[in-house]
Structure 1
Amino acid sequence: MNKGLNIAFFGSSLVSAYWNGAATYYRGIIKTLHQQGHSITFYEPDVYERQANRDIPDPDYATVVVYQPEENALQQCLDEAGSADIIIKASGVGVFDRELEERIVEIRQDHQQIIFWDVDAPATLDRMINDKNDYFRRLVPEYDQVLTYGGGFPVEDAYKSLGARDCTSIYNAFDPDTHFPVSPKEEYVCDLAFLGNRLPDREKRVENFFIKVARVLPDKKFILGGSGWGDKDLPENVKYVGHVPTKDHNAFNCSARAILNISRDSMATYGFSPATRVFEAAGAGACIITDAWKGIGEFFEPDDEILVADCAEEVVEIMELLDEKGAREVGNAALMKALTKHTYDHRAQQLEEILQLKSIVA
C-alpha cells in the first residue's frame, strides 16, 4: 500500500469497549496503520451508552467522529468520507448498518477502494445463506475486498461462493504496548476466570464450560467478567465482577491461575476464529484453557502453549491437575508465540500487502 493514504473507517466504536468486543481489535490495527504513515478517520455512532463508558480518550492515531443516530448526521459523515482513498465499513456498527453498506457502494469513486470488514463473519454468512433475499447478497460483489477477523478458509470460501471478489481473514492479535504481564490484583485472584459479554449464541457454552465446571469444583474460586450476567444464576464460588475495562485486562489475565476462552456457537462451528481475548491473555502470559475449535494449532500449540477441552469434564480434569508451575510454563510459552507471530504489527503488514496487491491489480 502506498504511504500516506486517507482511510475512512465506519465501525461500532474505537474509544469504548462497552458492549463492543471488537474495540481492541480496531485499536490495534488502526494504531499500526497510523504508525506506517496512514491517516484514519473513525466514524462511530453514539449508541448503547458507549460514549458514557469510554475506555480511552480520543487517541492520537486516529481522528474520531462521533455522530448521532440520525439520518442527517449519517449523511454528513458519508459526505466527508467521500474524499478518502479507502472506505471501510465494518459489520455490526449498531445503527444504519444497511444504509451504510448500500450507500458506500453508491458513492464510491474510481480511485477509491471500498472494503467490507466483517467482525462476525459466521453470523453474517449464516444470515445470507439462510435467506436468499438478504439485501447484502447483492452488495457482496460490489466491494473490492471482504476482510474478516476470523474464520479462515471456511469463511473465505463461503464469501467467495457468494460472489466476493476476494476475502481474507485478518485475525485478532494483541498490542504489546497495551497487553503485557503485570502483578496479580487481589480482586481478580482465582483458579479460573472468564471474560465475555452475555450473548445468546455464547450463553449455553458458558453454562457448560464455566458454570457447570464451577459447580463440580466447589473448592475452587471462579471469576466471571463481562456485561449482562448480573441476573444469571451462579454458584457461590463464582464471583461476578461486571464489565472489565481495558485498563484492567492485564490484571484480570494475570491474577487467575488459568483464563478460559469460550467461543460463540457460530465461531466454534466455522473454526479458525480465535477471539481477541485469546491473544490478549497470551500477551499477558496467562495460561489459557480453550474450548475446542478447528484450527487451534494454526495459532498456538495445544498442550504446550494452550490447553484444549472438548467438554466441561475435560475442563474439570485440567483444573484438578493444573498447578502454579504448569500454568506458568504454558503461559510463558503462549507469550513467546504471541510476540513472534500474533501482534498487530503482523496483522497490519498482512493488510498492507493485501491492499497493495489489490491496488496493483486495479
Structure 2
Amino acid sequence: MSEPLNIVILGLSITSSWGNGHATTYRALVHGLSLRGHSVLFLERDQPWYAKNRDLPHPPYGTTCLYADFDELRDRFTEEVAQADLVIVGSYVPDGVEVGRWVVDTARGLTAFYDIDTPITLAKLVHGDYEYLHPDLIPRYGLYLSFTGGPLLSWLKRSYRAQRVEPLYCSVDPDLHSADFGPIEYDLGYMGTYSEDRQPIVQELLLKPAQIWKEGRFAVVGPQYPETIAWPRNVNRIEHFPPSSHRRFYTSQRFTLNITRREMVRAGYSPSVRLFEAAACGTPVISDIWQGLNSFFRIGEEILVAERAEDVLRYLQETSDAERNRIGERARAKVLSAHTSIHRAIEVENHVRRIRGGYPRPRIIHSYG
C-alpha cells in the first residue's frame, strides 16, 4: 500500500440508515479506508428525520461531523476540503450542486462524485432535474464513481464529458456479516424501503406466494409502506431494523428476496447493498433478473432468479436443505472474495494512484471544530 491519504467525504448520511441505503455503504467504505490506514472525515447534513433515527450516531472509524447548512459547511470545513488528497461528494447530498461547485473550486487534491443512484441521477438529468448534480459540474470532477457498472458508464462519459468514470459498487463489512445461523423463523423475507416501482414485484414475488402457501412464513422489513397495503396473515411486517440487526434477520430465513428499482433494472449492473449483505450471511438469495447479474453471481449456483410467484414457490417448496446451504455457501464465498469493504478501499486507492501518478504526502488535519 502507498502512503495514507487524507480523504473528505460529503455524503447523504452515515449516522442513520433509516429510509436510505447510503449509510451502510458509507460505513463499509469508511471502515475499509480506515483499516487501510487512511484518514477519513465524513461530513453529513444534520437532517431532522435522520436525527430522530440515528442507529450509529458516532461511527467508530474515521471522523464524522454534522453541519446545519451550506454556510456552516463552508465556514467550518473549507481548509479541510482545500488540503485533502481526495474529496468525494455523494449523490442526494442536500444542496449538492452548490456543494459540488464549492468543492471543485476549493479542493487542491482530486475531486470525485460518488453516484450511489446512477440510473436515477441520469434520468433526472435528462428531464432537467438538477437536484444534486448539474451537467456542467460533471466534467469538473476529476473522477465519477458509480454504483452502476456496464455500458451506462461509457454513455455517461460520452454524453456528459466526465473526465474518468469508474464503477465503485457497494460492499459488505465482514465484521458485521457472518453465517452464524440461529433458529429459522421465515421461509422468505425481504428488506427494503417502500418504493412505488418495486411494490408490484414485492406483490408478485412475496405477497402472492404468501397468499397461496398459507403454511409458509414470510417477513417484510422497511419503512414508509402505505397503510393501504393488505398484508397476508402469514407476513410479519416490521418497520425497521438497524444494520446491527441485519445479520440476525438474514440468518433467520431459509431464503431472502432481492428486488431492484426499475431504473436500476433498465441500466443493469446495479447490485444492491442488501444483495451483498444477504449473500455474505450465507442466506440463499432469490432475485429479480437484470442484465449483469451473472457477472456478480452464477445464476442457479450462487443465486436463484424468479419472475413469477410460481418460481418462488418452487424454490421454497422443492429445494432441499443441502442444496439451499450449498447455494448460500457459494454466494458467501463470492462476496468475501470480491465485494468487501477492503476490496472497495483498495479500488479507491488504485483510482487515485492512476489519476495522480502516485500518492502525495498526506496532510493530516485535526481541527474539526
Equivalent pairs counted in the alignment come to: 355
3-state secondary structure, aligned to 1:235? coil
8 Å contact from structure 2 (residues 7, 85) kept in 1:
yes
> Which deviates more from structure 2 when the two are superposed, residues 309-318 or residues 339-348?
309-318
Q: 1:122 to 1:328 in 2, by over 3 A?
A: same
Structure 1 residue 59 and structure 2 residue 59: aligned? Answer: yes
Structure 1 residue 27 and structure 2 residue 27: aligned? Answer: yes
Q: 1:74 to 1:185 in 2, by over 3 A?
A: farther
TM-score (norm 2): 0.90
Structure 1 residue 297 and structure 2 residue 297: aligned? Answer: no
For residue 257 of structure 1, report the CA deviation from its aligned partner. Answer: 0.7
3-state secondary structure, aligned to 1:326? helix
Per-residue CA deviation, residues 51-80 of structure 1 (Å, 9 max, x unaligned), is 332222423321100112x34323224424
Mapped partners of 2:219, 2:183: distance in 1: 13
Q: 1:48 to 1:277 in 2, by over 3 A?
A: farther
Q: 1:290 to 1:268 in 2, by over 3 A?
A: same
> Which deviates more from structure 2 when the two are superposed, residues 337-346 or residues 49-58?
49-58
- Matched AA of 1:147: L
- Matched AA of 1:227: P
Residue 193 of structure 1 aligns with which residue? 189
8 Å contact from structure 2 (residues 150, 268) kept in 1:
no
Q: 1:334 to 1:71 in 2, by over 3 A?
A: closer
8 Å contact from structure 2 (residues 25, 273) kept in 1:
yes
Partner residue of 2:201 out of 200, 205, 222: 205
8 Å contact from structure 1 (residues 230, 242) kept in 2:
no
Greater relative contact order, per chain length (Cα 8 Å cut-off, separation 6+): 2
Residue 359 of structure 1 aligns with which residue? 356
Mapped partners of 1:77, 1:147: distance in 2: 26
3-state secondary structure, aligned to 2:260? coil
Report runs of 4+ in structure 1 exceeding 6 Å deviation: 132-135
For residue 23 of structure 1, report the CA deviation from its aligned partner. Answer: 1.5
Partner residue of 1:274 out of 271, 276, 285: 271
3-state secondary structure, aligned to 1:138? coil
3-state secondary structure, aligned to 1:18? coil
Mapped partners of 1:86, 1:99: distance in 2: 18
Partner residue of 2:137 out of 139, 160, 168: 139
- Matched AA of 1:303: G
Per-residue CA deviation, residues 20-79 of structure 1 (Å, 9 max, x unaligned), is 2121211111111112221110000111522332222423321100112x3432322442
8 Å contact from structure 1 (residues 283, 335) kept in 2:
yes
Q: 1:290 to 1:120 in 2, by over 3 A?
A: same
For residue 230 of structure 1, report the CA deviation from its aligned partner. Answer: 5.8
8 Å contact from structure 1 (residues 155, 270) kept in 2:
yes
Residue 89 of structure 1 aligns with which residue? 89
3-state secondary structure, aligned to 2:298? coil
Structure 1 residue 285 and structure 2 residue 264: aligned? Answer: no
Mapped partners of 2:99, 2:124: distance in 1: 18
User: Please, which runs of 5 or more residues in structure 2 have no aligned partner?
Assistant: 360-369
Residue 308 of structure 1 aligns with which residue? 305
Partner residue of 2:181 out of 180, 183, 194: 183
> Which deviates more from structure 2 when the two are superposed, residues 273-282 or residues 48-57?
48-57
Per-residue CA deviation, residues 202-228 of structure 1 (Å, 9 max, x unaligned), is 223222322223223222111000111
Partner residue of 1:318 out of 315, 320, 330: 315
Q: 1:299 to 1:48 in 2, by over 3 A?
A: farther
Q: 1:343 to 1:71 in 2, by over 3 A?
A: closer
* Percent identity for Structure 1 against Structure 2: 32
Structure 1 residue 170 and structure 2 residue 175: aligned? Answer: no
- Matched AA of 1:86: L
Mapped partners of 1:128, 1:31: distance in 2: 32
Mapped partners of 1:71, 1:33: distance in 2: 26
